[in-house]
Chains A and B, each alone.
Chain A
């Protein structure tokens, strides 16, 4: 049936291929299984049952105590917004939020917006390896805080945050805890019933389900105010007729993710490490960003100094390799990524950060082709770089002082 397109896809933190089994599972819900699950007839009933199965499949992957704690949404962004806005609405006397400087825009832009509405947001800093300042967290936790929202893993570097521990601390302080686990679900085991996490966001398209489907996990007993009001779907917590085909797909994808969890730890991690070692062994002036000892098994983010990321991606793409970059020019924002700047990565390196994110569909042959392709690409761009001494094959003696362009 479905076939992976030609080319080597190492951009799985951006989105993933929908698994063939998932496509197969969802197709009938576009055709014969078209009923509205709320309807009182067999057409609706059959779809209603499928949704129940999907809910249980998600529950199993998350280790949630109850399937009713799973609320289907339209995407990760909606889940994040629902969690944060619900906490503020449900506790109007609490006017503060704690989050981090390296969150995804789904959380960061919302928080910046809420600041304009008069809320106080504490942004936790990170060090050069992207690790959180826990003292700053403890200092900010108080009864004025409505919600702590901290990502479980960073989408650019894969660095993991100690959210389980942070959730315990929040609980002791009587503060709600939400985590954006979009990059984690399906990559590392999760057992929510044993945690103090009150809310968690996930997004289907990061784990081989389609785009446009997400989940908000909502621990039973957590005070909640819906974002979308209307019909009684999702027990009134998210109105709108269910996206049944995608919900069925997400359920199937969760089942597959659970079955393949060991492969993430072993096969995917092994490939990632092979890639990273292979590149670093051949390319000088390159380093891993984030915290290499504590990160997702599939992600590797390498800063190639003195060259620019978009140029790297264009050459990789020509070689049939898909990756992504924290460079300014790829996003249209013309600023290097906020994650790299938060970690104080120098501009000459931040612009050249390249993220390789793998999945269980990658092979050793893929990885070896990438290891062979990267060094000449980096060398080619460095030959053009004003910071690089092409004859010596090394950076200029004092790159940042030797080359000082006007209005840098």
Chain B
């Protein structure tokens, strides 16, 4: 079973603002039916002040999709449209005290519905566009910039390899076409042509087991793993933050109840296990106090 936070469960069992707003003047419809998610967001906006007076949602989706929709409507009620557009998927996830990584796309959907509704209100045509780069893989929230960088850094040439390195395309596979387009573009820059029938490149030549992530992807993955653990610690009035990554060593700061707690080592082990699982390679999680004073790059 998914490890949903209490807030996710609460908003799923008792969703706020369910149903369509009567006489709505802003409507956003987004989703991916093959992935099992679709959201219709209806807003009533006061034309004088551009303030959202009422928000309602209709969602076809799983528990976290419904909870994310509920959270979104709660967050944006009373905001001006410009304020609302600043609500990020992370804000939605934070409001819900975290979402399992595989479910982050549910919060992304909420934000996109909002953008679509605002565009609809303003008489514009909404286009899926993201700050970090267009979101390509909705399932694991991987954007185009990250995919491009990973392809370049690791000399990738197949969709399979991209999935392996970034997780993108590992879910509903709706984005495989998009990944192929990026591959075609990046390979063309290097004077190569993308061949969908070609076998994935041979395993890492350096001899280390498994494929290595690009540095950026690796850091993101570690951050993500730590983010996913934080709600558990916060429940016990503790917290953890990432301080530094040095090769195989990941340094963290334990704060609050976790700092002096006898369980600190067990907690570190738990964090380590989680990161190792997510990363697919061995790392050691150490308290920041154990950091070498002068960082020397081996």
Interface residues of A (CB under 8 A from B): 306-311, 314-315, 318, 327-330, 332-336, 347-348, 351, 383-388, 390, 403-408
Contacts and interface: CB of A to CB of B under 8 A. Distances in A.
Contacts of B66: 311, 384
Contacts of B172: 328, 334-335
B58 A310 contact: no
Contacts of A404: 29
A385 B59 contact: yes
A335 B31 contact: no
A334 B12 contact: no
B38 A328 contact: no
A131 B105 CA distance: 35
A408 B38 contact: yes
A406 B59 contact: no
Nearest to A407: B32
Contacts of A406: 29-31, 112, 116, 126, 128
Contacts, number: 108
A384 B15 contact: yes
A403 B39 CA distance: 10
A309 B63 CA distance: 9
Interface string B94-117: 000000001100000000100010
Interface in B1-51: 9, 12-13, 15, 18-19, 29-40
Contacts of B154: none
B62 interface: yes
Given A334-B35, A408-B33, A314 B63 contact: yes
A384 B32 contact: no
A329 B62 contact: yes
A254 to B, nearest CB: 31
B125 to A, nearest CB: 10
Q: Chain A contact residues: over half helix, strand or loop, or mixed?
A: loop
Contacts of A351: 36, 60
B231 interface: no
Please tell me the size bucket of the interface on B. Answer: 35 or more
B161 interface: no
Interface in B146-191: 171-174
Nearest to B173: A335
A385 B126 contact: no
A406 B174 CA distance: 13
B102 A386 contact: no
Interface string B47-82: 000000000011111111110000000000000000
Q: Chain B contact residues: over half helix, strand or loop, or mixed?
A: mixed
Given A330-B62, A406-B29, A406-B30, 6 more contacts: A311-B61, A311-B62, A314-B9, A329-B64, A384-B66, A404-B29
A403 B171 CA distance: 24
B60 A387 contact: yes
A384 B19 contact: yes
A335 to B, nearest CB: 5
A386 B29 contact: yes
B39 A386 contact: yes
A308 B19 CA distance: 16
11 contacts: A308-B62, A318-B13, A327-B62, A328-B172, A347-B36, A351-B60, A384-B18, A384-B59, A388-B58, A405-B38, A406-B116
A334 B139 contact: yes
Chain B CB within 10 Å, residue with most, of A332, A386, A407: A386
A334 B102 contact: yes
B58 A384 contact: yes
Contacts of A347: 33-34, 36
B165 to A, nearest CB: 19
A405 B18 contact: no
Contacts of B174: 407
A387 B13 CA distance: 20
B171 A335 contact: yes
B5 to A, nearest CB: 13
Interface string B238-259: 0000000000000000000000
A407 B171 contact: no
A401 B15 CA distance: 26
Nearest to B175: A407
B36 A334 contact: yes
A385 B171 contact: no
B36 A329 contact: yes
B33 A405 contact: yes
A329 B15 CA distance: 19
Contacts of B31: 405-408
A388 B20 CA distance: 11
A-B pairs with the 10 shortest C-beta distances?
Answer: A329-B62, A334-B171, A310-B62, A386-B58, A405-B31, A386-B40, A351-B36, A328-B36, A405-B29, A408-B33
A44 to B, nearest CB: 39
Nearest to A116: B199
Nearest to B13: A318
A403 B29 contact: yes
A403 B40 contact: yes
Contacts of B13: 315, 318
A332 B102 contact: yes
A311 B12 contact: yes
B128 A407 contact: yes
Contact of A405 (B15, B30, B62, B64): B30
Contacts of A328: 35-36, 172
A248 to B, nearest CB: 32
Given A335-B172, A386-B60, A408 B32 contact: yes
